[in-house]
Homo-oligomer: A and B are copies of this chain.
Amino acid sequence: MSEGHKLNRSQRLVHMTRILVERPGEAIPLSYFMERFDAAKSTISEDLALIKETLEAEGSGLVRTQAGAIGGVQYWPFPSSNEVQETLAELCRLLRDPGRILPGGFVYMTDIITHPMWSARIGSMLAARFHAAQPDAILTVETKGIPLALMVARALGVPMVVARREGRVTEGPSFSIHYISGSTRRINTMTVGSRALQRESRVLIVDDFMKAGATARAMVDLVTELGATVAGVGIFVTTAEPQKKQVEEYTTLLTLLDVDEEERVVKIQPAQ
């Protein structure tokens, strides 16, 4: 857009809302809007107050404005509790489809995780739960955790780090840990590029599915070994059994109670 192009109020509201929603978590200085719309600080502040009031009144995300010389504004696309309830109910309906049952009692959910509409909604829900913990990086392990972790990272405006099953030259020097997989009892490796994860950072661990929690535990150990702090563990679907997981604290959106391959029934519900 041409700089300094004068817009009326309606036009400014449309542009400012678009910019905030497209750049979640980013602190945008008021001066950016002032220059871009050739408008006084008081005008921009009024517009932002209206945007904040409008969005927050309906529970459509969170807007934070900071006053002062370096005043700025941040938007987070957190859903209202109504939206969360509706989305989780809809996800349960989809996942209960008996056609999703795979041999071994697995439930096919790749189509949901990899659809950007769903991953964005799931990511926003997880992001909302951990916003207060102030994570500054999201860690997941390849492959299925990536779409959800990226959308959590997007909603919070922080980078994502992907642990790999083996080191790659394109990741540079790396740090690895070994762990015993809960289901196969085999020794697995998890490796993360040394450049990717900063010491001192607060890391939110995200994955699509958890059973015994061996993978999540390995990520917790990886973060701790690297001198960073675990800001939380957020999982999309967690099995009810075993009750005792290898991570002590975690948040899950859905609980998978049972998959009956004979009766073709999937029992799943929003986590309590």
Contact = CB atoms under 8 A, between A and B. Distances in A.
A13 B15 contact: no
Interface string A211-226: 0000000000000000
Contacts of A58: 1-2, 5, 15
A143 B142 contact: yes
Given A116-B157, A154-B120, A170-B108, A54 B11 contact: yes
B23 A21 contact: no
Interface stretch (A99-107, A246-254, A263-271): A99-107
Interface in A141-166: 142-144, 146-147, 150-151, 153-154, 157-162, 164
Tell me how many chains of this kind the complex includes.
2
A196 interface: yes
Interface in A15-40: 15, 17-18, 21-23, 26
A110 interface: yes
A164 B146 contact: no
A158 B5 CA distance: 34
A195 interface: yes
Contact of A147 (B61, B102, B108, B160): B160
Which residue, A26, A106, A116, A117, has most C-beta atoms of chain B within 10 A? A116
A164 B110 CA distance: 12
B111 A196 contact: yes
Interface in A109-159: 109-111, 114-117, 119-120, 142-144, 146-147, 150-151, 153-154, 157-159
A9 interface: yes
Contacts of A110: 162, 170-171, 193, 195-196
Contacts of A59: 1
Nearest to A102: B172
